[in-house]
């Protein structure tokens, strides 16, 4: 397959998601699972992320968000991760392999596409890289649900859809739209049908903008959580807030029982697997 871009506004959990994905294969395997996933880091950035992720998941260290500045001024300064994800299904179904190549863009780059100007070269490079011909589609992470966020997300998506159309990609660009951090108590019950029970309840304008702008076969909604919950009969988030330089960070509450939710399923859909 081609590349998949992972995008979203600030604090939507992109870097944490990638860290959790890199550490996914170290989870205790569920022998009753119908599908088994193996995530293999390929390049140096992804291997380094896996090493850091082990500390993040097992030792309770929070993930530093990606920010512009501090030596990050162009696209080439950003981390670039490459993974192979092996999808092994039971009952004689064919195996699948996903090649995931993704650059970890700061959320502010995505947010500023609404009013980016010619001097914002990194924003133009961001769009070019997200929409180049060998990109199959994007995994888009949202996390807020207040009415003000819905208005902003709707405007953001309207502009992003215009850019997709300007590059002639509306008919062949898939968008997996996920409500991230769905371990939260308000969100967890709606995870099974996120289009209706999450986006249809909390982000109605955003939902309408997306459904009006993309062919239905190229759009699907998901819920996902890098942290997960404490257990089947204990749906409290396996996450607690932690101090960070920007005031927003999370760590695992109980690392030994870490069980993320739905990290790879959106990638399988984008891959057509």
Number of domains in the chain: 1
Q: Give the pLDDT confidence of 220-270 residue by residue, as tens digits.
A: 999 999 999 999 899 999 988 765 555 456 778 888 888 899 999 999 999
Q: Which two tokens stand for residue 139?
A: 């995994």
Q: Give the pLDDT confidence of 65-100 residue by residue, as tens digits.
A: 555 555 556 667 788 888 999 888 776 666 778 888
Give pTM, 2 decimals: 0.88
Domain holding 42: CATH number? 3.40.50.300
Q: Give the pLDDT confidence of 141-191 residue by residue, as tens digits.
A: 998 877 778 998 999 999 999 999 999 999 999 999 999 999 998 899 999
The helix (run of H) or strand (run of E) holding residue 193 is none
In the predicted model, what is the mean pLDDT of residues 50-67?
66
Lowest mean pLDDT among 31-45, 53-67, 98-112: 53-67
**What confidence score (pLDDT) does residue 63 get?**
59
**What confidence score (pLDDT) does residue 92 get?**
60
Phi then psi dihedrals of residue 4, to 5 deg = -120, 130
Phi then psi dihedrals of residue 234, to 5 deg = -140, 80
Of residues 116 and 41, more confidently modeled: 41
Residue 124 confidence class, pLDDT cut points 50, 70, 90: confident
* Residue 31 structural domain: 3-271
Residue 116 confidence class, pLDDT cut points 50, 70, 90: low
**What confidence score (pLDDT) does residue 220 get?**
98
Whether 20 contacts 263, CB under 8 Å: yes
Which residues, other chains included, contact 15 with Cβ-Cβ below 8 Å and sequence gap of 6+?
Answer: 63, 64, 65, 66, 104
Question: DSSP of 99-114, one letter per residue?
Answer: EEEEE---HHHHHGGG
């Amino acid at each position: 397959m081609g590349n998949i871009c992972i995008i979203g506004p600030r604090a939507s959990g992109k870097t944490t998601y990638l860290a959790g994905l890199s550490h996914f294969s170290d989870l205790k395997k569920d022998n009753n699972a119908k599908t088994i996933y193996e995530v293999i880091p390929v390049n140096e950035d992804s291997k380094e992320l896996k090493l850091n992720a082990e500390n993040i998941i097992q030792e309770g260290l929070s993930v530093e968000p990606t920010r512009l500045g501090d030596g990050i001024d162009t696209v080439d300064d950003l981390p670039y991760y490459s993974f192979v994800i092996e999808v092994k299904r039971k009952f004689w179904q064919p195996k699948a392999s996903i090649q995931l190549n993704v650059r970890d863009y700061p959320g502010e780059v995505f947010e500023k596409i609404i009013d980016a100007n010619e001097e914002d070269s990194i924003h133009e490079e961001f769009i070019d890289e997200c929409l180049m011909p060998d990109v199959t589609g994007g995994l888009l992470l949202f996390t807020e649900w207040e009415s003000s966020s819905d208005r902003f997300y709707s405007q953001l998506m309207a502009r992003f859809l215009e850019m997709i159309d300007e590059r002639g990609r509306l008919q062949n660009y898939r968008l997996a739209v996920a409500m991230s951090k769905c371990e939260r108590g308000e969100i967890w019950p709606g995870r099974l049908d996120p289009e209706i029970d999450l986006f249809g309840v909390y982000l109605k304008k955003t939902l309408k903008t997306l459904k009006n702008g993309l062919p239905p076969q190229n759009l699907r909604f998901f819920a996902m959580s890098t942290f997960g919950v404490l257990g089947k009969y204990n749906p409290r988030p396996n996450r607690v807030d932690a101090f960070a330089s920007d005031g927003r960070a999370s760590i695992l509450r109980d690392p030994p029982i870490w069980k993320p939710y739905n990290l790879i399923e959106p990638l399988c859909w984008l891959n057509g697997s």
